[in-house]
Amino acid sequence: MGFLRVVARIMGRISTFRSYQLVLLLAAALAVAAFYYFGSERQNFSSTTKRIKQTQASHNTNRNDADLTVDTRLSHPDEPEERGLEGESNPLRSRKADSEAGYHNYHVLMMFTKVDKSRSLQDKFRVAMLSMVKHGQFLEGEVLVLHFVSDQASQELGKRMLQEFVLDATFKYEVVFHDVVALTQKLFPIVEAMQKYFSAGSGAYYSDAIFFLSVAMHHIMPESLTHIVQLDLDLKYRTNIRDLFQEFDRFPPGAVIGIAREMQPVYRHTFWQYRKENPETKVGEPPPDGLPGFNSGVMLLDLRAMRASALYNKLLEPSNVAKLADQYRFRGHLGDQDFFSMIGMEHPELFYSLACGWNRQLCTWWRDHGYGDIFQLYYRCDGPVYIYHGNCNTPIPED
């Protein structure tokens, strides 16, 4: 009724105003009337507009990473609207930017290829994610960013599975799927030369390049991404994943990668010829004084340090890969793990040794294949277990 009275009053005064004055007065009256009449809808309209801007900002951020990721991202359903504001939605931002903005991202990466074809991998993924979510705790303003390197079919399955697995998460998270084909195209020229030494078959295989992602991650990911943890799927977490990131602060000068030792006599066997020719060597010997090699199930990659290390990048050159492989008479089949183990024999200063409890490997294959008498020297792990690693399809304790 108030609206009609305002309009009637204006109409009664038409004869006393010029046409342009009438138009102005009528427009003002309609605006006032609309304010009161539609006032109850104002909050919903404002919220909707804000969400549209947030969605567009997130979409634009995805486009900035189009060469690495597919255009998809999942977020915590309870995430505050402010997290979607432009300039605050990019999970690849730098630590400095994080600190200045009052929040911090924790990046983890998992290989997620051919999962759609393997029930075993799906079961392992379920155990890993449910245990990570169960123990995960982060501070206000912190975000866990989950990166998955995936093919299209596995990506679709992964998105459906994650909706269930992260349902009870008490922390903020983001999910980014990286296209395995795009990453392989970037990796192959960098790691082609080393594949013939560390791949299962003879010669270099294009499809195998992705198994060397950690070796060249610092060349592949944007420079704004300075630290990332790469994890196998066959893990079970018994503690807060956030605590693992604190190990970066323990890196000594010159170290670029944090990694646990191999807990079987794998490299005692693989370096057999070098050991035969050098009977006093520590290569392949068990801890604490030997060099047993590394296991890549859990890796802390200081990408900033990897980019800055002249020594590490020199070791990536094909001529130096060939030189070391010949020197150690080395031929392996475990991809990045073999490469890190080999250069670790020559340059242990590049690595920070994670406590065995951060990658408590459970596989006992080598105990039953010729090394039963010395197996426990490698397999023993004193101290608390933070992450179980069910390598070679070993069952993981229920606890």
* Structural tokens at position 278: 């050098």
25 and 164 share one domain: no
Whole-number pLDDT of residue 200: 75
Of 10-14, 86-90, 187-191, minimum mean pLDDT range: 86-90
Eight-class DSSP state of 386: S
SS3 (DSSP) at 109: strand
47 part of a folded domain = no
281 and 229 share one domain: yes
369 part of a folded domain = yes
Report whether 146 contacts 176 (CB < 8 A). yes
115 part of a folded domain = yes
Q: Is the pLDDT of residue 52 over 50?
A: no
10 and 104 share one domain: no
Whole-number pLDDT of residue 196: 87
- Name 206's Cβ contacts closer than 8 Å, sequence gap at least 6: 184, 188
Highest mean pLDDT among 71-85, 96-110, 276-290: 276-290
**What whole-number percentage of the chain has pLDDT above 70?**
72
Backbone angles phi, psi at 114, to 5 degrees: 60, 20
44 part of a folded domain = no
Whole-number pLDDT of residue 167: 94
Eight-class DSSP state of 103: -
108 part of a folded domain = yes
17 and 125 share one domain: no
363 part of a folded domain = yes
Give the CA distances from residue 366 to residues 234, 331, 389, 393, in Å, rounded to whole numbers and listed in that order.
19, 18, 16, 14
187 and 85 share one domain: yes
Q: Where does the pLDDT of residue 206 fall: very low under 50, low under 70, confident under 90, or very high at 90 and above?
A: low
172 and 290 share one domain: yes
- Name 18's Cβ contacts closer than 8 Å, sequence gap at least 6: none
Query: Rounded to two decimals, what is the model's pTM?
Result: 0.77
Q: Is the pLDDT of residue 75 over 90?
A: no
Whole-number pLDDT of residue 385: 98
Q: Is the pLDDT of residue 389 over 70?
A: yes
Q: Is the pLDDT of residue 70 over 80?
A: no
Whole-number pLDDT of residue 76: 58
Whole-number pLDDT of residue 128: 98
CATH number of 262's domain = 3.90.550.10
Whole-number pLDDT of residue 199: 86
64 part of a folded domain = no
CA 240 to chain centre: 16
Burial class (CB in 10 A: 0-12, 13-18, 19+), 96: exposed
26 and 136 share one domain: no
51 part of a folded domain = no
Strand 257-261 vs strand 294-302: parallel, antiparallel, or unpaired?
antiparallel
137 and 284 share one domain: yes
Q: Is the pLDDT of residue 106 over 60?
A: yes
- Pairwise pLDDT comparison (324 vs 44), residue with the higher score: 324
User: How many domains would you assign to the chain?
Assistant: 2
Which tens digit of pLDDT belongs to each residue from 184-201? 999 999 999 888 899 876
Whole-number pLDDT of residue 125: 98
Q: Where does the pLDDT of residue 215 fall: very low under 50, low under 70, confident under 90, or very high at 90 and above?
A: very high
Which tens digit of pLDDT belongs to each residue from 268-282? 999 999 999 999 999
Residues 304-324 have a mean pLDDT of 97
Q: Where does the pLDDT of residue 9 fall: very low under 50, low under 70, confident under 90, or very high at 90 and above?
A: low
Whole-number pLDDT of residue 39: 41
93 and 165 share one domain: yes
Amino acid identity, position 310: A
Whole-number pLDDT of residue 204: 53
Q: Where does the pLDDT of residue 207 fall: very low under 50, low under 70, confident under 90, or very high at 90 and above?
A: low
Query: 360 lies in which domain range?
Result: 69-393
